[in-house]
Amino acid sequence: MASRSSVVRAARQLTSAAVKRPSPFACQQWRRTAQMPRLFTVSAQSKEKKYTEDHEWIEASADGKTYTLGISEYAAKALGDVVYIELPQVDLEVGEGDAIGAVESVKSASDILTPVSGTVAEVNEALEQKPGDINKDPEGEAWIAKITVSGEPAGKLMSEAEYKEFTEEA
């Protein structure tokens, strides 16, 4: 729908490099092919915070069974004053790439896409009352949801350094 756009598009809007970006479809294809090798890389390093090209972040719990998901500081800054956050319902089953909620700022509505499949275990209800908190601490207190996963995240994920580079070249 016309008035919806992903966080990535919102963030892109601040830059002029949008044209160069792969379309979501291209991305998904890529994810599928990338899935296989990833199965073998279950290691401690996968528990560090990772970022998506759509400007979400995920971080695994110590046991690796639950991932906390939020939007990046870059995205929060790009969106501006956030006035409403639509959270997913607890127990909702979600698939990789699904829109599980949305962030509404004065200027736009942006979907929150999950890079992991699983079940929503917990949502940050405090954001319903104080959506503006997401502008203050998007990668900490203002996390969005926790998702219990059955496997490893499959799509393209970036380390903090890679993500930083990604947003700088954008």
Tally of CB atoms within 10 A around 122:
13
- Determine, following the binding rule CB under 8 A, whether residue 1 of this chain makes contact with another protein: yes
Binding mask 78-117 for another protein (x = CB under 8 A): --xx-xx-x------------x--x-x-xxxx--------
Element (H, E) at 146: strand 145-148
Cβ closest to another protein, residue 46 vs residue 132:
132
Instruction: For the CB of residue 153, give the shortest distance to another protein in the complex, in Å.
Output: 24
- Give yes or no for a contact between 4 and 102, defined as CB atoms under 8 angstroms apart: yes
Q: By C-alpha distance, which of 24, 39, 3 is closest to 113?
A: 24
Cβ closest to another protein, residue 73 vs residue 80:
80
Burial of 134 (0-12, 13-18, 19+ CB in 10 A): buried
Residue 164 CA to residue 170 CA, distance in Å, equals 10
Instruction: For the CB of residue 9, give the shortest distance to another protein in the complex, in Å.
Output: 6
Instruction: For the CB of residue 138, give the shortest distance to another protein in the complex, in Å.
Output: 15
| Residues that bind another protein in the complex, under the rule CB under 8 A | 1-5, 9-10, 12-14, 18-19, 80-81, 83-84, 86, 99, 102, 104, 106-109
